[in-house]
Structure 1
Amino acid sequence: MENLQTQGIDLPRLGLGTFRMQGDACRAAVESALGLGYRHIDTAEMYGNEEPIGAAIAAAKIARKDLHVTTKVWQENLAPDAIRNAFDASLKKLHLDHVDLYLVHWPSRSMNLPAIFETLMKLKEEGRTRAIGVANFTTALLKTVVEDIRAPIACNQVEYHAMLDQTPLRKYLVAKSIPLVAYCPLAQGRFATDETLARIGDKHDATAAQVALKWLLDQDGVAAIPKASRPESQKANLDALKVKLDDEDRKAIAALPKDTRCVNPGFAPAWD
């Protein structure tokens, strides 16, 4: 598995997303993924599944240095004391003494960015998280964090896939050497019926979803965290790494409509 180097950590390019996975089914899915070779597990306080993920990690007995774990603080807990309390609770549920990456899950309209990142940087200094970052931040918000606060951001995790254009945001991230971690990289199953992706898949003995995933992972500075609970789906996503797209394929994917956003809650920022 290829890694991205960012702020002193190695971030595996392909990880396992766990949103909406719960309880024993979540634990089984994470155990399966770790058994198949996944070493990047993504969770969040809001997902309510850190405990079964912690149990799966403990059962897998993988050396801690070989495993990357990301979790996130929910937008209602962005005051400094609330961040600390949320972080402590996440570590306890995960049965870990540190995480590799701790993210602000969503920006909030009332947040105090300097206070948030002062707290996050202290957690990093204490060695309780190896790196810090953000999710769902626009270019304008990123500029404040990176250029004004000068926080050492290790990634911005956002929705990104072959049906959603993220060019302005990507240009800024590339210029600042900050990876983009793509969630919903398979557009919540929408690619399965796309004729263009299916045709490219037939050419490479791959599925439309594998083509879409490889299109993302071929881009500089992009990692992806597809959710997959079944072992067959997890393996199919790993096998996407073997697909070799050519210029003709990329041109066809570039021509797809790029205006499908799967995740757009009422509290979302004004997107770029």
Structure 2
Amino acid sequence: MDHLPRPGLGTSGYDGHDECVESVQTALDVGYRHVDTAQMYDTEAAVGEALDASDVAREEVFVATKVLPENLGHDDVLETARESADRLGVDTIDLLYVHWPTKAYEAEETLPAFDQLVDEGLVEQVGLSNFTPDLLDEARDVLDAPIFAHQVECHPLLPQEELREYARDDDHWLVAYGPFARGAVTDDETVVAVAEEHDVSVYELLLAWSLSKEQVVPIPKATGEDHLRANFEAKDLDLPQSALGRLDAIDERTRRFDPDRAPWN
């Protein structure tokens, strides 16, 4: 498995172009080397501006983006991926995802376009997002390129054991979006208690939990140097397995990113 820097920086939900540019630049200064964006987020141009302005060399930063569900027809994949690369200001997109296997997604039509982009050199690695195990099986049968990453909501209230096992067996990364479950998991009694006992924030604890899973790459979004730095430095926390195991033992389950069109519904 090739390297994917942990943690990454998510760029969904920033309050405008300038806030995104500033946050990405600050993150790169702090040490992040993996930036995640998407056509859906409308932040590709801001990420590209931050990359261009940063002192960090482009080849040191792993840049991932995702194709909108309505752009997943074969020709639309080819056209809009090139537009994404232009907005990002890159010759090669390090990782291009199918964002959701919905709307225009048809494995036999969509995925050959991703293979074509890899063959052309516009895309380095292929990723999928919000797939079920059955859809992953289908994609593997169609794709020539290996699946490099699968991105899903993942946190102690939705630990995704089956998809993490699938990632291990298939030797791909599981990229964890929503690691704080839009605040739901930060209020969990066990999470709060363990964080207090070990004198860390609930955010640091949750990222440490994600990072303790060998193949999991969390991509929290943050603004401000202090918040960005705290998230990044969670990788260096030395928490006992007994503490992280208490999060594994939480039996409540909640999914906070659950559109009606999702393939599991």
CA distance in 2, matches of 1:218, 1:93: 34
Using the TM superposition, name which of 154-163 and 245-254 deviates more: 245-254
Q: What does residue 132 of structure 1 align with?
A: 126
Distance 1:169 1:194 in 2: 23
Q: Which residue of 1 aligns with 2:7?
A: 14
RMSD: 1.6
Please give the alpha-carbon distance, in whole angstroms, between the structure 2 residues aligned to 1:136 and 1:191: 20
- Tell me whether 1:121 sits opposite 2:115 in the alignment: yes
Distance, in Å, in 2 between the alignment partners of 1:148 and 1:129 is 17
Q: Per the alignment, do residues 93 and 114 of structure 1 end up closer, same or farther by CA in structure 2, a change over 3 Å counting?
A: same
- Partner in structure 1 of residue 139 of structure 2: 145
Task: Give 1:164's aligned amino acid.
Answer: L
| Code of the aligned partner of 1:15 | G
Is 1:53 the counterpart of 2:47? The answer is: yes
Amino acid at match of 2:150: N
Moved over 3 A (4+): 147-151
Partner of 1:81: 75
Q: 1:34 aligns with which of 7, 28, 31?
A: 28
Contact 2:71/2:104 (<8 A) preserved? no
Residue 106 of structure 2 corresponds to 112
Which of 152, 156, 166 in structure 2 is aligned with 1:158? 152
Match in the other structure for 2:238: 244
How many residues of Structure 1 are paired with residues of Structure 2 in the alignment? 264
SS in 1 for 2:217: strand
Tell me the distance in 1 between the aligned counterparts of 2:49 and 2:103.
35
Q: Does the 8 A contact of 1:42 with 1:69 survive in 2?
A: yes
The 2-side partners of 1:257 and 1:12 are apart by 30
Q: Distance in 2 between matches of 1:97 and 1:166?
A: 34
Alpha-carbon displacement from aligned partner over 1:122-175 (angstroms, at most 9, x marks no partner): 111111111011010110100111145454110100000011131122222211
Runs (5+) with no aligned partner, structure 1: none
Structure 2 regions of 5+ residues with no counterpart? none
SS state at 1:163 partner:
coil
Contact 2:151–2:177, Cα closer than 8 Å, also in 1: yes
Q: 8 Å contact 1:157–1:182 — kept in the other structure?
A: yes
Contact 1:13 1:217 in 2 (8 A): yes
Deviations 1:18-67 (CA, angstroms, capped at 9, x unpaired)? 11123111111111111111110000011111111111110003222211
- Equivalent residue number for residue 216 of structure 1: 210
Deviations 1:168-217 (A, max 9, x none): 22222211111100000111223433332222223332111211111111
Cα distance in 2 for partners of 1:254, 1:14 equals: 20
Does the 8 Å contact 1:161/1:212 carry over to 2?
yes
- Percentage identity across paired residues of the two chains: 36
* Partner Cα distance (2:138, 2:77) in 1: 20
More moved, 197-206 vs 65-74: 197-206
SS at match of 1:223: strand
User: Is the contact between residue 117 and residue 151 of structure 1 (CA under 8 Å) also seen in structure 2?
Assistant: no
One-letter code of the match for 2:57? A
Q: What is the alpha-carbon distance in structure 1 between the residues aligned to residue 252 and residue 149 of structure 2?
A: 22
**TM-score where L is the length of structure 2:** 0.94
**C-alpha separation in 2, matches of 1:180 and 1:237:** 18
* TM-score (structure 1 length as normaliser): 0.92
Please give the alpha-carbon distance, in whole angstroms, between the structure 2 residues aligned to 1:247 and 1:49: 37
Equivalent position of 1:233 in the other structure: 227
